[in-house]
Structure 1
Amino acid sequence: MATGSGTPGPPPPPPGQATQKVSDVITAFRPAKKFKPPSARTSVTSLDFDDTGDLCVVARDDDTLQIYNTTLGKHAKEFNSQKYGVHLARFSHHAQNIIYASTKVDDTIRFFSTHDNSFTRYFKGHTDTVTSIALCPSSDTFISCAKDNTVRLWDLQSQNFSGMLNLHGAYLACYDPSATVIAIASQPGGAILLYDVRNYDKIPFATFHLSEMEQRHLGPNGGEWSKLEFTNDGKHLVVSTTGAGHFVLDAFDGGLKHFAHRKRGGTGRLGPSAGVPKNNATNGVASALGQGDTAVTPDGQYLIGGSAEDGLLVWDISRDPPSDKYTHAEHLTGPCKAAVVGYNPKFNMLATADKDLVLWQPDPDIMM
């Protein structure tokens, strides 16, 4: 496996790899390139791919944004946000523009242009730490959640939020693939609320209650909800946690389809309800924020995530679950912990990170 930005990276994705079935390559993923941070005390807190799959943006707790060219396997650019900090960095539908949450000074969401290294717009309104940013799949609108118990809807063309919901503990939100439904998760309320995008100011059209599931499957140690995501086919809604596993729900009735169990527990990252931490935590307490350590494959058949051990876990969520709903994972060996995980939307490529950023590709010698 190549290491560092100065060595050759993985070859460009071969012809057909973008459309190759995930099921044919999922167990063949192997680390192809590793990028090390300048300091062992630096952690990646979020990552995202652009729509083309050619670029990956990484936010680190040294207050920098890092851009990587994934097809060349090379580091492309670095941007500093020393004054405001950076977390939950997301590409807009234009790869030269990124939105991200502040971790210092205030709780403004910033719209940043990598073309000229300047801020295009500021989205002000939240009065406490932003916990989730989700871009609409079909337009330049996005949702944000924060510890101020508000969920806000925005348009990238305007600095003013276009809508707001006051919901206690609603720290996670996402759009469904058709961009007609917003799912909002409140763990203190033990529920996920589904809203029609056109009538978000009305009562939710569905509510999924998870308290009983949590008690049965997460055990006495519990776990914080860390990410909310629909599968691309719209059939499932995944609630990731920091605990012993993740909930894969039927997106229509909220029933539990799979509990994606990880026997060694979570990655140790802080959940969204935590305040912005200080670096260099002591007493073995994790100091880094995260964005959830799971990703769903584009075909909706597999859930990929991290655990307390190095490497990746892969759950097949396309099969009928066992009677107890516990779905066990296959382990893919890797060089470090996968505390942040992303799946390239165009190519069969994974990105994982803890301290290092690792790009994964299928090994053609062991593919099915």
Structure 2
Amino acid sequence: MATGSGTPGPPPPPPGQATQKVSDVITAFRPAKKFKPPNARTSVTSLDFDDTGDLAVVARDDDTLQIYNTTLGKHAKEFNSQKYGVHLARFSHHAQNIIYASTKVDDTIRFFSTHDNSFTRYFKGHTDTVTSIALCPSSDTFISCAKDNTVRLWDLQSPNFSGMLNLHGAYLACYDPSATVIAVASQLGHAVLLYDVRNYDKIPFATFDLAGLEQQYLGPNGGEWSKLEFTNDGKHLIVSTTGNGHFVLDAFDGGLKHFAYRKRGHTGRLGPSAGVPTRGTNGANGVAEALGQGDTAVTPDGQYLIGGSAEDGLLVWDISRDPSSDKYTNAEHLTGPGKAAIVGYNPKFNMLATADKDLILWQPDPDIMM
């Protein structure tokens, strides 16, 4: 049963929008549909699209999963996880199956079937808060990181982890597009480590040291690493932060290509090392802080980085152009209603989704496209 209401918006995108170049529409994105939670204190903590782009799932800190049909622009289903909580919800390659992290009782990752509202499997092993879940792009395997200083590899068909790395502060991990490389980020170690998937138990074949970049670009206020992601062309590796910008690295040698600078700073979400906040705890500004999954997303063509900002709307960085001598890349601002603390780009259609309290779907406005 739907609990949120959608504001009126334009009809679903025509099929042609799926094939339009991102560069032709990137500056034309405008909010098209808004879904409000029943409680104004509720926050979205994670967002994911299924492989077809037809569905989106969000986890909220009211311990619910919300499914949306993006093609129709409608709320589809709600599922409760009041006993275990829910965060980092991810579609498997089968849209009726979702994996997510628990925020209550224990640190088990749960495999949930939306078809019959039941748990298919439990992935037990982590002994502290799960901080990252990444599905393999070509198989039913996934990686998880946790505050227990382990990175675990799993297969959806088995409840037991198939591999484990013991790494201090390794809170983020992802696969490269070819599914042959695993990147693991440890901010405490100031490094991103690259492993061959077939030899993950060996030493990393590459290590990118970011200590100097942090000091130079994040400055005294710093910022926590909040998301790790390869671009779909495999050329760049994005290290998103809660500070005043994000690092766009050369995926082959780790060199800085761009520092995606945001003038007004971050969106206020807790980073992965914060653990699960007690509901009602307040941050320094007196506002209840919520978990996040990082507030960036890369466009499918790998040309643009989309990010949240402390003000209403979105930031867009062109990471395909040649970097400046100082590596600073400024953003274009897309105005919209509400803060974009969670950001996702539909993998099949030119559609954006952003969330803080509300979930907002963005589409290119044909009247202002070039």
TM range, smaller chain: over 0.9
CA distance in structure 1 between the partners assigned to 2:11 and 2:282 by the alignment: 36
Task: Answer whether contact 1:42 1:62 (CA < 8 A) is retained.
Answer: yes
Q: Partners in 2 of 1:7 and 1:347 — Cα distance? A: 21
Sequence identity (%): 93
Distance 1:3 1:367, change over 3 A: farther
Deviation of residue 246 (structure 1)? 0.0
Deviation, structure 1 residue 284: 2.1
Is 2:6–2:34's contact at 8 Å kept on the other side of the alignment?
no
Contact 2:3/2:37, CA 8 A, preserved across alignment: no
Moved over 6 A (4+): none
Call closer, same or farther: CA 1:2–1:122 in 2, change over 3 Å: closer
Question: 1:9, 1:72 within 8 Å by CA — same for their partners in 2?
Answer: no
**TM-score, length basis structure 2:** 0.97
* Contact preservation (8 Å) 2:226, 2:294: yes
Could you tell me how far apart the structure 1 residues matched to 2:288 and 2:261 are? 22
Deviation at 1:315, TM superposition (A): 0.2
How many angstroms does 1:16 deviate by?
1.6
- CA distance in 2 between partners of 1:318 and 1:52 (Å): 26
**In the alignment, is the contact (CA less than 8 A) between 2:2 and 2:77 conserved in 1?**
no
Give how far 1:15 is off: 2.4
Partners of 2:46 and 2:87 within 8 A in 1: yes
Structure 1: runs of 5+ lacking an equivalent: none
Q: Quote the offset at 1:9 in angstroms.
A: 4.5
Shift of 1:307: 1.1
Q: Which residue of 1 aligns with 2:182?
A: 182
1: CA distance between counterparts of 2:2 and 2:363?
Answer: 13
Superposed CA offset, 1:109-131 (max 9, x none) = 00000000000000000000000
Displacement of 1:285 after TM fit?
5.1
How much does 1:268 deviate?
0.5
Looking at structure 1, the residues matched to 81 and 2 of structure 2 have their Cα atoms a distance apart, in angstroms, of 29
Contact 2:28 2:368 in 1 (8 A): yes
Paired residues of 1:150 and 1:164 also in contact (CA < 8 A):
yes
Residues 83 and 281 (structure 1), Cα distance of their counterparts in 2 relative to 1, 3 Å cut: farther
Compute the displacement of 1:10 (Å).
Answer: 3.7
Decide whether the 8 Å contact of 1:10 with 1:73 is kept in 2: no
Q: Which position in structure 1 is the counterpart of 2:259?
A: 259
Cα offsets for 1:106-156 (capped at 9, x unmatched): 000000000000000000000000000000000000000000000000000
Map 1:128-207 onto structure 2 (within 5 A). Answer: 128-207=128-207
What stretches of structure 2 of length at least 5 have no aligned partner?
none
Classify 1:282/1:240 alpha carbon distance in 2 versus 1 (closer, same or farther; 3 Å).
closer
- 1:273-297, CA deviations, whole angstroms, 9 ceiling, x for partnerless residues? 00201x5667525510000000000
Secondary structure of 2:213's match?
Answer: helix
Contact kept, 8 Å, 2:59 with 2:87, in 1: the verdict is: yes
Please point out which of 295, 320, 326 is paired with 1:293: 295
Contact 2:32 2:362 in 1 (8 A): yes
Does the CA-based 8 Å contact 1:9-1:74 persist in structure 2?
A: no
* SS of residue in 2 equivalent to 1:16: helix
Q: Distance in 2 between matches of 1:123 and 1:40?
A: 33
| 1:24-80 CA distance string (max 9 Å, x none) | 000000000000011111000000000000000000000000000001110000000
In 2 relative to 1, CA 330–148 (structure 1 residues): closer, same or farther, beyond 3 Å? same
Cα separation, 2, equivalents of 1:283 and 1:29: 31
- Kept in 2: contact 1:67–1:78 (CA 8 A): yes
> Which of residues 328, 336, 339 in structure 1 aligns to 2:338?
336
1:237 and 1:199, CA in 2 relative to 1: closer, same or farther beyond 3 A? same
What does the per-residue CA deviation read over 1:134-191, in whole Å, with 9 as the maximum and x for residues that have no partner? 0000000000000000000000000000000000000000000000000000000000
